[in-house]
Structure 1
Amino acid sequence: MPRQVAVDTETYTIEIDEDIDAILHTWNEFVAGQEFRDGCHELLDVIERNDKSKLLVDTSGFQAHDDADKEWLEDEWIPQSIEAGIDYSVSVTGDSVISEMEMEEFVDQTQHLDYTFVMAGSLDEAREWLDEQ
């Protein structure tokens, strides 16, 4: 079954992928602050409306997140996404060493939460991992 586009903006695209029973969130360009948080809130709305437990976030276009946004993700958004039903989350990172180091740190900081968060080097790798969950 093809992907169903739930939200499509200049900044991001949110899709439902029934083949792997997941929600895909692709950031098309770097954003920070309120614009980043608005995109995350819209993703949360899609999660709540579609009853999915798996999430794939493609941040391959990002070099790094703003520190305040990382803190907000960990403290507020991720617990809300878990409450909405997300059990498995995978993030596709860019080729940047900075991006990879940042995501590894983020994985470490979220280990205490009641869900599984991993990184993948490609969209195919991320889809394969989610399909196995």
Structure 2
Amino acid sequence: MAPEVHTEGEKYTIEWDDDIGTLIHTWTAFASGEAFREGCNDLLAAVEERNATKMIVDTSNVKAHDEADKQWLQTEWTPKTVEAGVQATAMVRSDSVISEMEMKEMSENMPDDADGGPEALITDDMAEARDWMADQ
């Protein structure tokens, strides 16, 4: 079954994939500041509405993030997703060294499952993210 579109923004789409019980947030263009936070907060609202425990965030169309946005993700947004019940997150990054380094740095500064944070996967392959999420 094809994922059901939950929210469609100017620079992102949020879908519900019933086959794997997962929200999929796809960034279709670079966003920063208020536009970035709006997209993230729409995902959080979808998590709360669906009582979702799993999400895939596809940033493969984005090469890098603004430093202030990364800080906001780490200190404000991610704790809210944990509080909302997210237990597993897969991040699909672009296939570039810069993106790989940035995602690794961001994940090192986020709570992991040992700290009460979600199980996490970082990959450059959406099929791998879907397969991993199906097993969560």
**Residues 50-129 of structure 1: matches in 2 within 5 Å?**
50-110=50-110, 111=112, 112-129=115-132
Deviation at 1:114, TM superposition (A): 2.0
Q: In structure 1, the residue corresponding to 2:94 is in which secondary structure?
A: coil
Tell me if structure 2 keeps the 8 A contact 1:60–1:92: yes
Structure 2 unpaired stretches of 5+: none
Which amino acid in 2 is paired with 1:19? D
Amino acid at match of 2:7: V
Aligned residues: 133
Aligned match of 1:18: 18
- TM-score, normalisation: structure 1: 0.95
**C-alpha deviation, 1:117, in angstroms:** 2.0
Q: Distance in 1 between matches of 2:120 and 2:72?
A: 16
Q: CA deviation at 1:75?
A: 0.3
**1:73 aligned partner, one-letter code:** L
Helix, strand or coil: the match of 1:29?
Answer: coil
Moved over 3 A (4+): none
- Cα deviation code 1:69-109 (max 9, x no counterpart): 00100100000011111010010000111011000111111
Work out whether residues 91 and 118 of structure 1, in 8 Å CA contact, stay in contact via their aligned partners in 2.
yes
Secondary structure of 2:68 counterpart: helix
Q: Secondary structure at the match of 1:61?
A: coil
Alignment of 1:130 with 2:109, yes or no, is: no
Q: Distance in 2 between matches of 1:14 and 1:109?
A: 25
1:102 and 1:115 map into 2 onto residues whose CA distance is: 19
RMSD: 1.0
Task: State the Cα distance separating 1:113 from its structure 2 match.
Answer: 4.7
The alignment's TM-score, normalised by the length of structure 2, stands at 0.93
The aligned amino acid for 2:133 is: L
| Identity score, percent | 43
